[in-house]
Amino acid sequence: MRILCSVLFALCASQQLTFTHWDNQPYTKQMVLQDFTELVTTDNFLVEHGENLSIENGLLTFQMIKDKVWVEGSGAQIVLPIKPQKEMILEYEVYFDGGDSPYDWTTGGKLPGIAGGRGYTGGEPAGAGDGFSARLMFGVNGQLYAYVYHVDMKGKYGESLGIVANNILKQYEWNTIKILYRMNTHDDYNGRMEVWANGEYVGEKNHMRFCTNYCSIDKFLLVSFHGGQTPDYRPSKNQKVKFRSFSFYY
């Protein structure tokens, strides 16, 4: 049964944040700590390709570099340790800015999500059961799909779990993404992930296992970049992915 996030919001503790209090400048680690202070558990966290992160006109902006994918220096990633949760709703507003011409989706790229335990990503399978990650990806012509590393995954890379929608992400306007995560207990098949975009149902996966070793949601993956690593992921021009707000319900 689908769970409407708006119903759950009234029942949950929450944090909402925007970036309008900052002037135009690089987005530094100290600024991250100030913005996410109610969630983070330590100032010892990973920032990768921080040179591509900035505040532009009150928006958190990721620079997508022409002809580059993640491993070549496109986009950025911040792995934030957060207070452990068994259930969370993550909501954010994202804008794909192609400049004077439409955004070049390429084969696609990563969008924010969560992780726990070892937080497997990057082609490292999560079969050991001691960690997971659950992000989203954008794809060709505004496709949106889940990208999950979980204990029962079949291959080397993340899986969509059937959570896919075509042509749902919009050009030249804000997109609102909502993701419900519910951890499984012990090694039981009772985990859940559900995704909505722009008020439309994208998909859900029930009766799943993220991990088997008492994992919790304990990392927020503040990430956006193109990739994969193959040439079909490389954008044909410099462009930007911008975020206006993030909300966490738990």
Q: Is residue 227 part of a domain?
A: yes
In a domain, 9, yes or no: no
- Can you tell me which residue has the tokens 């042509």? 167
Q: Which residue has the tokens 């009150």?
A: 58
Confidence at residue 214, expressed as pLDDT on a 0 to 100 scale: 83
Q: Is residue 4 part of a domain?
A: no
The confidence score (pLDDT) of residue 12 equals 58
Distance of CA 194 to the CA centre of its chain: 13
User: How many domains, the chain?
Assistant: 1
Position 53 scores a pLDDT of: 98
Domain-embedded: residue 113: yes
The answer to whether residue 7 is domain-embedded is no
Q: Is residue 186 part of a domain?
A: yes
The answer to whether position 139 is within a domain reads yes
Residue closest to 62 by CA, chosen among 17, 101, 112, 124: 112
Given this model, what pLDDT does residue 13 score? 63
In the chain, helix, strand, coil percent, each to 5? 10, 45, 45
- The secondary structure element, H or E, covering residue 224 is strand 217-226
Contact 173, 116 (CB under 8 A): no
Q: Is residue 5 part of a domain?
A: no
- CA neighbor of 39 nearest in space, from 86, 80, 92: 80
**What's the CATH code of the domain at 71?**
2.60.120.200
- Mean pLDDT for each 10-residue chunk of the chain (250 residues)? 43 81 97 94 92 98 96 94 96 97 98 97 96 98 98 97 98 97 96 97 98 94 96 97 96
